[in-house]
Amino acid sequence: MQKMQSSIVALSGSGLSAESGLPTFRDAAGLWKQHSWQELASPEGWRRNPELVLEFYNERRAKAWTAQPNEAHRAIAALEQKFAVTVITQNVDALHERAGSKIVLHVHGELAWARGTGPSRRRCRIEGAPIHMGQHCEEGTQLRPDIVWFGEETQYMEEAREIVALADKVLVVGTSLTVYPAAGLVEFARDDSERVVNSLELDAVPPGFRFLRGKATDIVPKLVADWMSGAAAAP
Task: Please give the residue ranges that form the binding site for ligand OAD (CB under 6 A).
Answer: 13-15, 18-19, 24-27, 30, 37, 41, 90, 108, 148, 174-176, 178-179, 198-202, 215-216
Cβ of residue 175: shortest distance to ligand OAD, in angstroms?
3
Shortest Å, Cβ 8 to ligand OAD: 18
Q: Closest separation between CB of residue 130 and ligand OAD, Å? A: 19
Q: Which residue is nearest to ligand OAD (CB)?
A: 15
- Count Cβ atoms within 10 A of the Cβ of residue 191 and give its class: 0-12 exposed, 13-18 middle, 19 or more buried: exposed
* CA-atom Rg of the chain in angstroms: 18
Complex with ligand OAD: residue 92 or 126, whichever CB lies closer: 92
Instruction: Give 231's contacts (C-beta < 8 A, 6+ positions apart).
Output: none
Cβ nearer to ligand OAD, comparing 63 with 82? 63
Residue 95, Cβ density class (10 Å: 0-12 exposed, 13-18 middle, ≥19 buried): buried
Cα–Cα nearest to 8, from 100, 86, 101: 86
CA distance 114 to 46: 14
The catalytic position among 73, 96, 106, 108 is 108
Q: Is residue 108 annotated as part of the catalytic site, yes or no?
A: yes
Nearer to ligand OAD, 24 or 142 (CB): 24
Active site residues: 108
